[in-house]
Amino acid sequence: MNKIHSKLTKTNYNTQTTGETNIIIIILTIGAIVAAIAPFLHILCSKESKIELFGFRNARMFFYAIGLPVTLLISSIILSYISNFIGIKKINQAVRSIAFIFLSVSFYYIVWTFWAKADFPPIVYYGMIILIACSFGFCMNKFLRYISTSTKRLLEISNKIPNLDLRIKTVNDIANIMPDDNEDLVTYKTMVDVTGDNLKETITEIKKDLN
């Protein structure tokens, strides 16, 4: 009875998880579609309209100004969400940082679009430029450190592989020249055990480098 209940529970959980995944995929797809068409919405509005909208001459000018910022906003949200599924911590952090930068830029221009005055003060522009430059510099530094660390680990691993191959070859060579039955010699099992320990030690070192 317990096994049946456990199986039903697992089935219900898997079904629920699949349903949630499908909903998320649908939401992401809709978001991507909206992001793709946002820059082109202005073509649906009349050029001849004289009705002002949020300080713009007409709706066409308004949608033209806000189209790309909306695309950037939705794209950064999608990028931020997808970063949750990146298992490598440093890459995850880099993608999140990039998404944050894009999000900041999109909010900046969306606020500018709805800004009642003609434009932002110059100090706001300079502040935004400094923020973006510092953020990109931080992300680039993180990325380069990750690349250099990964390269170093790969070089260390490549240096250990010939040693591992040599030990394996030694086992095979000794096994080929040893007689099948001779109690006076070291048994094949003993030889394999000793060499196996050495191989395990080398593999452990490689795993440490990978981590």
When the pLDDT of each residue in the chain is averaged and rounded to a whole number, the result is 74
Average pLDDT over residues 29-35: 92
Give residue-wise pLDDT tens across range 133-188.
677 667 666 666 676 667 777 777 767 666 666 766 676 666 566 555 555 555 65
Could you give the count of Cα atoms lying within 13 Å of 68 in the half-sphere of its Cβ? 8
Task: Choose between 51 and 203: higher pLDDT.
Answer: 51
Confidence at residue 178, expressed as pLDDT on a 0 to 100 scale: 59
Average pLDDT over residues 13-35: 79
Instruction: Tell me the residue ranges of DSSP E strands in 63-145.
Output: none
Whether 10 has a pLDDT exceeding 60, the answer reads no
Q: d(Cα 82, Cα 94) in Å, to the nearest integer?
A: 12
Measured in degrees and rounded to the nearest 5, phi and psi for residue 53 equal -140, 115
Domain ranges of the chain: 2-120
